[in-house]
Amino acid sequence: MTSPVGRFAPSPTGRLHLGNLRSALLGWLDIRARGGRFLLRIEDLDPDRSKPEHVDGIFEDLEFLGLDWDGEVLHQSRRADVYRDALEHLRRQGRAYDCTCSRAEVARAASAPHVGEEGPVYPGTCRSGASPKPGRQPSVRFRVAPGVVRFVDELAGPFEQNVEHTIGDFLVQRSDGVASYQLAVVVDDAASGVTRVLRGDDLLSSTPRQLQVLEALQLPAPAYAHVPLLLQADGKRLAKRDGATTAAGLRERGVSAEAIIGLLARWSGLGDGSPVRARDLVRDFSLARVRREPTVVHDDELLALVR
């Protein structure tokens, strides 16, 4: 059997917050406990939001917490040719086509009020051929296959989705020529030999789309494990708040790496919150121990770290 390969793939749009870091920790533990290779990928496709200083911050935060990686770091911004080749493969198969619809036009043409993850379901306006529009460069859409996509997630359990009915044909390249997340992530996972993907369950509903792209490109699918999110007290997803939820902000206040790891472990069902090194969690780690419910992060827990 081949050695398992996992990855952490953050976007360099700011410093890593505790939600990002919990996914990194759990993915790292899952792979290290299996004796596999853990890769780091920088998802810097968006040139407007991705900043070099944030890439350096990612390295710094992971090293501070003791989360090492194997091999060279892959940067998506340097792989435009690879994504273009994948698009050409999809075009040859009839699974990708140009689209000149704007977001507003898609919304107006939607045949039903159901709103998908990325807006209204695409009604297929350009499926039989895009109409040229002066001054507007076409984007590229993936032609989804009909029927229900089913898979078993190692944390969320059985999941199914009819992509045609809930999303419709989705973007695989933006009008500015930048590959979409849904294309780049599967191409890069396959190129790196990734066999296990552990990430936040906000991406669970993206997986059926990615499985369709993998199948169209004749690439192997990894095993998936989607972790319930960390939530704020108001029920919203944990975000960056004046440094209180970032590793960098906590470090500046004198909080140790072991204290942060201990809190992340408790939120994940892996400990009582006592300070601990990441490597000391490897021996007893199992996905079966990871909490299956979202965790609400209270301000007093964060304040306790800096007292």
DSSP state of 90: H
Q: What is the mean pLDDT of the chain?
A: 90
21: confidence class by pLDDT, cuts 50, 70, 90:
very high
| Within-domain flag for 162 | yes
We report the CATH number of the domain holding residue 99 as 3.90.800.10
We report the CATH number of the domain holding residue 25 as 3.40.50.620
CA 133 to chain centre: 33
One domain for residues 71 and 130? no
d(CA 287, CA 102): 42
Residue 131 domain boundaries: 80-180
| Within-domain flag for 198 | no
d(CA 231, CA 294): 7
How many separate domains does the chain show? 2
pLDDT, tens digit (0-9, with 9 covering 90-100), for 56-93? 999 999 999 999 999 999 999 999 999 999 999 999 99
How many beta carbons lie within 10 A of that of residue 247, not counting itself?
26
Contact by Cβ (8 Å): 76, 47: no
241: confidence class by pLDDT, cuts 50, 70, 90:
low
Residues 208-234: what's their mean pLDDT? Answer: 95
One domain for residues 93 and 171? yes
| Within-domain flag for 165 | yes
Above pLDDT 90, what percent of the chain? 74
Report whether pLDDT(251) > 70.
yes
| Within-domain flag for 191 | no
d(CA 192, CA 301): 38
Q: Which two tokens stand for residue 88?
A: 């050409």
| Within-domain flag for 302 | yes
